[in-house]
Amino acid sequence: MPLQRRLPKFGFKNINRVEYKAINLSTLQALADAKGYEKIGLEEMSAAGFISKKQMVKILGNGELTAKLTVEANAFSASAVKAIEAVGGTVVKL
């Protein structure tokens, strides 16, 4: 039996992959309403229990944002940036 048939098949695991915790705009709006935040960063999300301290965060554009917020995160989707800036907020990429 040839060697390529004797060995088991395994998939490819990318060692350079960056895994983000996804947070939607609706979650940010609920957090701003509940706590009265004007600036939401990794510390506020960690204190609310959405992420752990070591996780990287990506803000997604699902939901509606009505509060003017300054949002700090590791990554943003294009629709999230557009929605945050449409209500007068600012985006800070860490």
For the segment 28-40, what is each residue's pLDDT rounded down to a tens digit?
Answer: 999 999 999 999 9
- Total residues found in the chain within this entry: 94
Q: What is the chain's mean pLDDT, rounded?
A: 94
What whole-number percentage of the chain has pLDDT above 90? 85
Q: Side-chain half-sphere of 42: how many Cα atoms within 13 Å? A: 15
pLDDT for the residue numbered 12: 86
Check whether 8 has a pLDDT greater than 90: no
Q: How far apart are CA 2 and CA 45, in angstroms?
A: 54
Which residues share a beta bridge with 92? Answer: 72
Instruction: Give the count of alpha carbons within 13 A of 57, CB side only.
Output: 26
Structure tokens, 69: 């917020």
CATH topology classification for 17-93: Ribosomal Protein L15; Chain: K; domain 2 (3.100.10)
Contact 23, 60 (CB under 8 A): yes
Average pLDDT over every residue of 12-20: 93
Residue range 40-92, pLDDT digits in tens: 999 999 999 999 999 999 999 999 999 999 999 999 999 999 999 999 999 99
Question: What is the C-alpha separation between 85 and 9, in angstroms, rounded?
Answer: 48
The pLDDT score that the predictor gives to residue 85 is 96
